[in-house]
Amino acid sequence: MKRCLMVVVVLAAGAALQPAAARVTRIEIVKTEPAFGGKVFPGAGAFERLSGIAHGEVDPKAPANAGIQDIGLAPRNARGMVEYAAEIDILRPANPDKANGILLFNAVNRGNKDALARLNADVPGPAANTNALTSPGDGWVQSAGTTLIFFAWQADVLPGDSRMTLKVPVARNPDGSPVTGLVRSEFVVQAPAKAQNLSSGWFTTMTHDSYPSVSTDNRKPLADGFLPTLTERAREGAPRVPIPSSQWSFADCSGAEARPDPRRICYPDGFKPGHIYELLYRAQDPLVLGLGFAAARDIATFFKTRDADDAGTKNPVAHGGETKAIVMGSSQGGRYIRTLLMLGFNRQEGAKAGPAGRVFDGAYVHIGGGLIPLNQRFGAPGRAWGAVVDHLYPAYDFPFSYAKQTDPLTGRSQGILDRCTAEDDCPRIFHAATALEVWEGRQSLGLTDPLGRVDVADPADVRSYIMASTQHGPAALPLPQAAPFGTCAQQPNPNPQLWTMRALMAGLIAWVRDDKRPPNGAAPRIADGTLVPPDQVRFPAIPANAYGGVTRPAMLYLGTMNPLHVMERGPGWRPAASSGVASIEPPRQGSTSYGQLVPQVDADGNDAAGVRSLALQVPIGTYTAWNQFRADWFPDQFCNFTGTFVPFAATKEEREKAGDPRPSLAERYPTKSAYVNAVREAADRLIAARFLLPDDAYRLITEAETNGVRTAP
């Protein structure tokens, strides 16, 4: 098998580094040990794991750093520089001669190392639980001789469970007084609770630091008359019902008695699931979060270009030959990469325009549409973009696409790649999203004009791949066979992404390293009728609750398509950079929404276009990219990040009795050999399109030959 190479995040710091230039000043390796218990990988041998900290500094006066929010309010060292310290974790071949010259930087997800679970098969546990790096699964990444570097870029992540953290300074006013400002915090709990961190949300509960309130007295107005408020509502868009200040406090009441705490909220009546609670309060001590872009740029530049740090400590991944770097980030990490590119951090600081100053040679953006609110005063980069949860956080400012467009709602003309195009340092980009991101996450805005009227082509160095009928992350197997299905009303979707992800990574590496033409993009389009308004989706009439069936047809989701409007956040907000200071909370929404579309489906209810996996081409059921919350939570609303699986009936008689229009398994695959032949033919098609690797096809065909037609995933 041809050796596959990879890379993730390499952000620029400086080709010809001067003493005052931003750079990594010291690499501190805290621990070196055999990786994976000394396991030997064919062709690459054993690996070592190096854990440590990258210490760096940034020149606040340099033009490349001028756009970092509050960089001018950060404390400086004796050299006039702003310092940071980022945790790093490296997996490298123990024998340097076995290294392939590829650095794979993982832009971690909320501090979690997730690259191995995205690319290696058989990694145990969900992606967020792989931080210990105890198992490489099938070792696909390691067998190629690839060096994998995880790095911290998010400074508000709390330590714990091996999460990676970045240390950055707190912004202070020139006179030394605290910087203060309005903060909005949304609480949507998954279990009843009386106390929450002020930062707690669906994705950030107990894992992210909180901005402290300037006062723990929520009943006494501040000098300017401001009084914090707590409200409750039944769903996004519903009226906010005030909760009297006498019924809650800034305190920790998780123990026997409540104690005042500027980072916690106590509500003795209890936060309840199925409700949205919104706190508006005056906070202080914002972190200079935007340093997460500069730090990553400098770290990647060090590992890619330098032999040693300022003290002479050798670069632990230095390679004698040419080094290529690809950035990979999933979900939050993908939005981070897009924003990093938009803000111009793919250029080594001080380098002249041109490819020689490029940091990333390639970028792999996975399930990460939109942008990330990192370069913001009192930013909350751990928040998302849900139809119900985190709906109003700044995850989607225009521009939406890599290509430059004109937005009729704001009048701005812009694209994600404007900066790197002008400086000739754009990476080659694979953008791989699931169909759920189209239904729930506004992903169609990256494929069309802002009003959803016409298709927009990718720039020459970008390829977009929509993985048909997939949810944000595939459901774990075995699937639950009966309700309850967690917070959702229906069985989740297990359609795998792994085989597509590996094939695309191999294609991106070949494009970056060997200049080999990449696989053609694959996405639903307006022109061929595969990208349509939600009310035009021809979803089959699957009977309710048949075989765990759906309880609503897709068209009824028209009213919950996660609409997006232009948001007014105050005069200090810079929407063209998705950066700045938000002073209007909640934001004021414009009256006109952007135009969002969704994939058309085939007769089975499976997406008709995009990368159709083997599981979709030889289906055993319907895989949707949407699900809904349980009726006792948020009825008729998207259940976060989750799709649905509805298995086919086993026989014709069974489906006819239930009134199911979809052919049964026996009708589709009358014999085991018919099923195996269908799997083999689908695998051949996917290999030809370069959406499946030959070795992975062999594995899937062998499974079909061994197990025959499956009745469940």
pLDDT tens per residue, range 76-106: 999 999 999 999 999 999 999 999 889 999 9
Cα separation, 202 vs 186, in Å, equals 9
Is it the case that residue 5 has pLDDT exceeding 70?
A: no
Q: Are 535 and 558 in contact (CB under 8 A)?
A: yes
Average pLDDT for 585-608: 96
Cα separation, 96 vs 269, in Å, equals 60
Nearest to 292 by CA among 71, 130, 116, 73: 71
Nearest to 341 by CA among 447, 442, 414: 414
Q: Residue 83 — φ and ψ, nearest 5°?
A: -100, 155
Cα separation, 303 vs 9, in Å, equals 11
Query: What sign has the CA pseudo-torsion 648, 626, 689, 41?
Result: negative
Q: Measuring CA to CA, how many Å separate 456 from each of 360, 400, 415, 464?
A: 25, 11, 12, 11
pLDDT tens-digit profile of 468-478?
A: 999 999 998 88
Give percent above pLDDT 70 in the chain.
94
Q: Residue 409 — φ and ψ, nearest 5°?
A: -85, -30
Q: Are 631 and 552 in contact (CB under 8 A)?
A: no
Q: Are 120 and 501 in contact (CB under 8 A)?
A: no
439's CB contacts (< 8 A; 6+ apart) are 557, 561, 598, 599, 625, 626, 638
* DSSP letter string, 17-64: --TTS-EEEEEEEEEEEEGGGG-EETTTEEEEEEEEEEEEEE-TTSGG
Is it the case that residue 581 has pLDDT exceeding 60?
A: yes
SS3 666: helix
Cα separation, 391 vs 593, in Å, equals 14
pLDDT category at 336 given cuts 50, 70, 90 is very high
Nearest to 532 by CA among 408, 615, 591, 447: 447
Return the structure tokens found at 573.
Answer: 């907000």
The mean of the pLDDT values for the chain is 92
SS3 291: helix
Which residues on adjacent β-strands are paired with residue 588? 568
Cα separation, 119 vs 136, in Å, equals 10
Average pLDDT for 303-316: 94
The region of weakest confidence among 260-264, 375-379, 475-479 is 475-479
Average pLDDT for 281-285: 98
pLDDT of residue 552: 52
pTM assigned to the model: 0.94
